Structure 1
Amino acid sequence: MTDAEVPRQPMTFALWREVDDTHVRTRLGGFFYLLAWLLTWVFSDSPAQVIGSGLLGIVTFAGLLAARLMHRPKGLTTPEQLQRWLDHHWGLILLTALCWGQAHAWALYRDEYNDSELITTLATVAFSTAMTFNFAMRRGRALLALALLYLPGLILMALDWENRHTLLLTLSFYLAYLVLVLGRNHREYHATLALEVKLLEQQTRLDLLSRTDTLTQLGNRYQFNNLFPSLVANAQRQNEPLSLVLLDIDHFKKINDAHGHMGGDVCLSAFAERMREIFRRDGDALLRLGGEEFGVLLPSTPLQQALELAERFRQGLEQDGLQLDEQRLNLTTSLGVGSFDNRLDRDADAFFSRVDGALYRAKREGRNRLVISES
């Protein structure tokens, strides 16, 4: 997954990170369970005498291995989907632990497996250690997996206390150690995850700042340069309408001269707020392109609808003006409006130039007017 595909919402990112870690750390685990059982069977006293249990173990662990490999986290975008994948995959992990715990107990119980008891015991230690260090993100589930791995064998050892008490005590102490380590690893994992989430939030804020005009809180030119080509490409691909409105405050230099740059800044902020009142759909992108020039990108909006919105903005501004220093400031704007046309616009630059030309014609022809780009 690329950086662009990493979820930006903290909760979604935390689940995505856990899914990714779980998937990476569990891919080879199923293979080692299968290998451990093969060694247990092959090095038993007489593999031919226990061929039934041997083949059953192979089929079981091979099936669990295949299920793990096939259960891939693809196309997961929502927290619900990510959590569902985790629940299902943990089901496979716990089922594998249950099967191995039974296999270990079976090898301890059956005399035919006396020669390979050590293999199953060492494999149990290895699997439980791997569980403690690799799957500490879910402490409760990891504890359950440890219990499933150990308890069947420990119960068999307890029933044969006289012959197996040394091994029983040793494994019990090691299990207690793993429980303590699991708690520490759980805290460390979530501390690291919290740091990643914090860094992601900081990165998101910095990215937002880099794309936002600090004065008006609209998108800036950088945002426009990134967004505009992608919207044009989507309009070409989907054959959907895309309209662009370019606005320029008329005689803005006179406002700066009369009220100073502070007054000019207040005027720009009020102009942007007026834009939000008219162009307020979720899909509309409002931008300050520089100085007193603004733009509005209107996806899925035909030309006629864009004209109606733009003209409503122009008329409302002409009629009401803006409030500046507790007084009404007469203000007008010139607008260029156009809709993307595959027959006229070979790319985003050509589309922008066409609408920009309409804006300049509006200014040349007397300002305070809307001009439609030539089609």
Structure 2
Amino acid sequence: MTEANVPRQPQAFALWRETQYTAARSPLGGIYYVVAWLLTWGLSEEPIALIVPGIVGAIVFSLLLLLRRLHRLPLAQTDAAQKRWLNLHWCLILITALSWGLAYAFVQQHPQLQSSSLIATLITIAFSTALAFNYAMRLRRAALTMLLIYLPGLLSLALDWREQYALLIVLGVYLSYLLLILRRSNREYLNTLALELQLLNQQERLEKLSRTDSLTQLGNRYHFNSLFPVMVANAQRHLQPLSLMLLDIDFFKRVNDQHGHAAGDSCLSDFAERMRQNFRRDSDTLLRLGGEEFGILMPNTSLEQARLMAEQFRQELEREGFTVSGASLPLTTSLGVGCYDGQRDRNAEAFYKRVDDALYQAKANGRNRVELA
């Protein structure tokens, strides 16, 4: 998923971030479970005598590692798909943790593995510590995973508590410490998540400001320059019509000269609002291209459809006029309308020039009219 597609809604973003973190950290942890068991078995007093449990353990942890690696992120980045992926992947993590917990208990109870007991204990501490820092995204699941790693070994030590009470106490105290660390790591993760989401929202607002004309709240020239080539390319690729409408307010300079720039700004804002009222389709992109020039990008719209809409807008604008300081003033517009033609338009620039020429033709022919490119 690209940065542009990163979800901005808090719940969706939290789910996406957790999925990304889990997918990145899980395979590495799976490798170390395999290595840990091979070390515990290989450094025992008689590895050959323990060939059966050794191979069984190696197969179990290798299989769990393989399942983690094969369980890739869903192609569909929907909330439902990501939740299913997380639930299943956490099942693999929990099964791996329980497998190690049982392996640690087995080491504690088997006489021929007593020389590896210290190794298994250190590895158990290492795994649980890593969990406290790397899987703090889900507090309860991480705590459950930690308990599955620890409790079988602790219960095994409790069976021989007279001999193992010191280690039992130390591990129990350290487990309580790790649970506190896990809670703190979870708070830090949530704070970081909130900051990251805040930064994304600020970035989105800044991007929106950079693409929006401050006076009319329509898209600006920068937005048009970014969007227009993409829409032309899509029209080429999918063989779908793309119409472009360019509009210029007639005699706008007179409004500024005779009534002041405040009236001119009010005229521009009113014109933009009329555009919003007449061109209501979600697919249409309304833009202020500069000064008194406006534009509308109309995907999946034929030339005749665009012409009819342009003519309807022109007539309504002429009929209603514009009111400033209690006085009603005439308000008309000249329009150039064109539809992309792959045979005539070499690129987006050629298409734009053809429609721009139609706009200038409308102005040259007396204004307040629609000319087709």
Partner residue of 1:274? Answer: 274
Aligned residues of 2:74 and 2:81 also touching (Cα < 8 A): no
Partner residue of 1:356? Answer: 356
The C-alpha deviation readout for 1:53-107, integer Å capped at 9, x for no partner, is 2222111111111122222325343333333322222222111111111111111
Partner residue of 1:160? Answer: 160
Query: In structure 2, how many angstroms separate the alpha carbons of the residues matched to 1:153 and 1:337?
Result: 78
Partner residue of 2:111? Answer: 111
Amino acid at match of 2:356: D
The C-alpha deviation readout for 1:191-245, integer Å capped at 9, x for no partner, is 1111111111111111111100000000000000000011111111111111100
Partner residue of 1:345? Answer: 345
Amino acid at match of 1:293: E
Amino acid at match of 1:193: L
2:15 counterpart of 1:15:
yes
Show the 5 A alignment for 1:9-158.
9-73=9-73, 75-158=75-158
Aligned residues of 1:143 and 1:179 also touching (Cα < 8 A): yes
TM-score, normalising length: structure 2: 0.96
Aligned residues of 1:11 and 1:79 also touching (Cα < 8 A): no
TM-score, normalising length: structure 1: 0.95
Aligned residues of 2:284 and 2:299 also touching (Cα < 8 A): yes
Partner residue of 2:331? Answer: 331
Give how far 1:169 is off: 0.6
Query: In structure 2, how many angstroms separate the alpha carbons of the residues matched to 1:319 and 1:345?
Result: 35
Aligned residues of 1:10 and 1:201 also touching (Cα < 8 A): no
Amino acid at match of 1:35: V
Number of residue pairs matched by the alignment: 373
Greater CA drift, 129-138 or 111-120: 111-120
Alignment root-mean-square deviation, CA: 1.5
Give how far 1:264 is off: 0.8
The C-alpha deviation readout for 1:246-281, integer Å capped at 9, x for no partner, is 000111111112221101111111110111111111
Amino acid at match of 1:24: A
Query: In structure 2, how many angstroms separate the alpha carbons of the residues matched to 1:323 and 1:83?
Result: 55
Greater CA drift, 36-45 or 67-76: 67-76
Give how far 1:326 is off: 3.5
Greater CA drift, 4-13 or 333-342: 4-13
The C-alpha deviation readout for 1:286-332, integer Å capped at 9, x for no partner, is 00000000000011212121112111111111112233334433211
Aligned residues of 2:6 and 2:13 also touching (Cα < 8 A): yes
**Deviating runs (4+, > 3 A) in structure 1?**
1-11
The C-alpha deviation readout for 1:122-161, integer Å capped at 9, x for no partner, is 1111100000011112111110011100011101111111
Give how far 1:164 is off: 1.1
Show the 5 A alignment for 1:277-292.
277-292=277-292
Amino acid at match of 2:216: T
Change (3 A) 1:327 1:71: farther
Query: In structure 2, how many angstroms separate the alpha carbons of the residues matched to 1:281 and 1:120?
Result: 66
Greater CA drift, 216-225 or 57-66: 57-66
- The secondary structure found in structure 1 opposite 2:248 is strand
Amino acid at match of 1:109: Q
Query: In structure 2, how many angstroms separate the alpha carbons of the residues matched to 1:226 and 1:269?
Result: 23
Partner residue of 1:222? Answer: 222
Query: In structure 2, how many angstroms separate the alpha carbons of the residues matched to 1:229 and 1:110?
Result: 71
Partner residue of 2:198? Answer: 198
Amino acid at match of 2:268: L
Greater CA drift, 301-310 or 279-288: 301-310
Query: In structure 2, how many angstroms separate the alpha carbons of the residues matched to 1:144 and 1:328?
Result: 73
Gapped runs of 5+ residues in structure 1? none
Partner residue of 1:309? Answer: 309
Query: In structure 1, how many angstroms separate the alpha carbons of the residues matched to 2:328 and 2:109?
Result: 93
Aligned residues of 1:358 and 1:372 also touching (Cα < 8 A): yes
Show the 5 A alignment for 1:254-265.
254-265=254-265
Gapped runs of 5+ residues in structure 2? none
- The secondary structure found in structure 1 opposite 2:317 is helix
Percent same amino acid at aligned positions? 57
Give how far 1:343 is off: 0.1
The C-alpha deviation readout for 1:339-370, integer Å capped at 9, x for no partner, is 11110111110000000000000000011110
Query: In structure 2, how many angstroms separate the alpha carbons of the residues matched to 1:257 and 1:84?
Result: 65
Greater CA drift, 359-368 or 110-119: 110-119
Query: In structure 2, how many angstroms separate the alpha carbons of the residues matched to 1:73 and 1:304?
Result: 46
Query: In structure 1, how many angstroms separate the alpha carbons of the residues matched to 2:62 and 2:5?
Result: 33
